Structure 1
Amino acid sequence: MLIAARQDTQSGTADEVMLKLHDAFCQLKAGTTDDDMFDRLGSCINVGLVRAEQIDPVCVAPMVAARDALIRCDGIRGRHGRYGFDGPGIQAMAAGLDVYEEMLRRSTPQQMAEAAATSYHLTLRQAAAEQRATA
C-alpha cells in the first residue's frame, strides 16, 4: 500500500475521477439545481489550486480562473435558481479541468490526499474567520 501511494495515480482511477468531474461540469452548464454537482466541482478546483501552488506558478492561474468561474456560477444560482456559467466561465472551467487532470495523472495518490487535507483545513479556517466576522 505504501508503494502504491508513492506512484502516479493509476490511469483507470484518473479516468473515473475525470468522468465524474466532466459530468458535474456538464450538469452545471445545463442548469442543474443539484448542489452535489457544484460541491464536486468546487472540491476538485480547491484541491487543484492547492496542488498547483505546490507544483508550479504556471498551474495556479488557470485554477484561480476556474475558482472565480465557480463563484460566478454560484451567483447565477442565487439570482436564477439554477446553476450556470457565463462564457468566460465555461472556458475557464474547461481549462481548469485540463490542468487538474494533468496534475492528477502526474501526482501520487499521497500528494493528492495531502492537497485535499490542506484544502479542507483552509476551508475550515475560512469558515471560522467568516463566522468571527459576523459575530
Structure 2
Amino acid sequence: MTLSPPRIFVVDDNHDSADILAEILRFKGFDVHVAYDGTQAIAMANGIPPDVVFLDLGMPGLDGYAVARALRARHGPYVHIVALTAWSDAATLAKVDEAGFDRHLAKPSNLDTIVAIIAASMPARRA
C-alpha cells in the first residue's frame, strides 16, 4: 500500500514567508498548496481538502480566525489547523482556541517542530 503525502496548506498574506515554508515542505516530500489570503484559502479547501493548514492570523479581509471557523465548519475534525503567527499574547491564544484551531505556533518556528506537527496530526490513511 502506498500512502499519498499529506496535503498541506500554507496561508499567509506575506508571500515570501508562505513561499519559503511551502518550498521547504515540498522538499520534505509534502503536497503543499499556498494561499495568500483567507478567501483564496477557503476556495482552495472547498476543491482540495487539506490535511494540515498552517494559517496566519493577521491577514486583510478574512483574518485567520474567520478562515479557521470556515474550515472547521466544512471539514470538521478531519483538518488539523495550526495558527502560525507572530502574535502569542494571552488574548490571542484564547481567540485561537475559540476559533477552533488545534495548535498555536509563534513565528519564527522551528522546521523540526512544524514537521513533527504534520506527522502527529496524520491518522492512518490510504492512498
**TM-score w.r.t. length of structure 2:** 0.33
| Structure holding more strand per residue | 2
> Which one scores higher on RCO, CA 8 angstroms, separation ≥ 6?
1
> Considering only CA atoms, is the larger Rg found in Structure 1 or Structure 2?
1
| Structure holding more helix per residue | 1
